[in-house]
Structure formats: C-alpha cells, structure tokens
Structure 1
C-alpha cells in the first residue's frame, strides 16, 4: 500500500521528448548523458536520477517524458538539455522492487489503489491526454553497483491535488 509523503520542490537537469512506450528506453539513455555533462562541468548530482511523466496520451499512444538528474543550482548543459523544477507538495509514494519491466504493473496498482481510496491526483485530463504536475519514477539503484535488475528499487511518486 502506498504511503503519503511531503516532497520539497526539486530542481533538475533534464531532457524532454514525446515517444511511444517503446521509445522510453531511448529517453532513459539520456540520464547517463546528463550525468556526463554535469561531471564535465564539475557538478555532482544532488540525488537519484528519475523519469518525469508530463503527458500521457489516450491509450498510451504517446508519452511526453523527461529524463532527469537532480541538481542544486540551475546549470546550462546546452543543446537539448534544460533545468526544471518538480513542484513540492504531498505525494503518494510506493516502492517497486525488481526489474523495470514491472514498473507498468506497479504504477497501475498505485493508480487503482488511488481510485478505490478516492485520492485526487494533481492532473488535468484534456483531449490530448493526462497532464501530470508530479508523476515520477526515481531510480534509487545504481546499475553500475547492482547489475542484477531483480534487485533494483524504484520509488513511484504521484502528486496529490490541492
């Protein structure tokens, strides 16, 4: 069962793209590029990297997502990268233990739980899809240290309305 947590606003360096579900892996590869660009500027990440889901089209035909690495201060990485801020607030949080291929089911379980419990998410539903203020997958396990994906931990965060 998810728990409710307060998250402060979080600044990050990111890359945004609109892709199909199959394209998520390509966006995920940008995390290492962002970490490398930060390292080249002498900037240490301020936390675990994460995915931010912004817009999910009806039927998941496309997703607008960001690959993100937390930073303390805005940083200019040039090219396609930017600095953004995830809003602070109250979030529902659940931890997925295992490989990334289980994240879809873990996310569905949180959303179904929220539906049963009457949770109001900070999202707007429009003709082009669900627009989320704060929907994150935080990758707590460094695959360079733990290569066995069955041992990975990913925190799922969903911002509550109001």
Structure 2
C-alpha cells in the first residue's frame, strides 16, 4: 500500500496514502469536482462550529482549564473521514522529491504496465486515496485524476511507482 517516487530526483521518497487521511492538504472528491455543492455545506458547518466553539470557550475559561496540547478532530470531521472520498494533490510530493531540471516525463508503473505522462501534466494530478471512507485496496493504493477532465474520467489505477526521467 505504498507508492515510490524515484528516478531522476534528488530525494527518492516513499508515499504512504493510508496516513493522508490526517493531512490538512487533502480535499474531498466533491470539493474538487463539485465546489458549488460543498460551499453551502461548509458555510453551515462553519456557523455550527463557531457556535460550538463559543460555548466551549465559555466552559473552558469559566473553569480555568488549560486547552488541549494536540489538535483533535471534531465530530463532523470524524464523520466525514468515515463516509467521504478523499484526494491529495501530487504537486507537494513532487516538490519534496526535487526532480532534476532536465526531467520531462513521469512514468507511472501500474499493475497493468507503464504509462508515460509529461512531468508538467502529472504535477496537475490528484491522487484518490480513500473511497467512501475506506482505503483503496482494489486498483490501489491510489488512482490518478485530473481536475480539468471532470469526475467521469477514467482514472489511472494501480499505481505502484512513479519514475521521473
């Protein structure tokens, strides 16, 4: 359940999509492909969160308790994790691996062979790592989507390795 980035890069890295569920950079599938729907929900959720936050602050400060050290997930976020599908932009990981300036192509090694994309095009991709609150086991660990192709595109599945050349 890992994906390796290697080839003509300064720092080969190994990605573990199972821990991305706790990453703040993740986006829900609907946020990416249906932003108009999620805006309404986030406004309602933010209003609810503000009300709860004010109540919590009153209770905590009245009792003079110290705030928690670690940021914990609120109930709505926990529910989302178990029901939504999530994607992660690939660009931060490419930046971390520091491909050489001569890199022009990204070769994706999949269960069905290899697929070659331009490095710039690949950097625009989003990796689906969770569907309906579960890690991708079939055709996983990640599926590659492109925002400009829409939600009905045929993703690249079964990616095991990303090789820059």
Higher strand share: 1
Q: TM-score surpassing 0.5?
A: no
TM-score (norm 1): 0.27
Bigger-Rg structure (1/2):
2
Higher helix share: 2
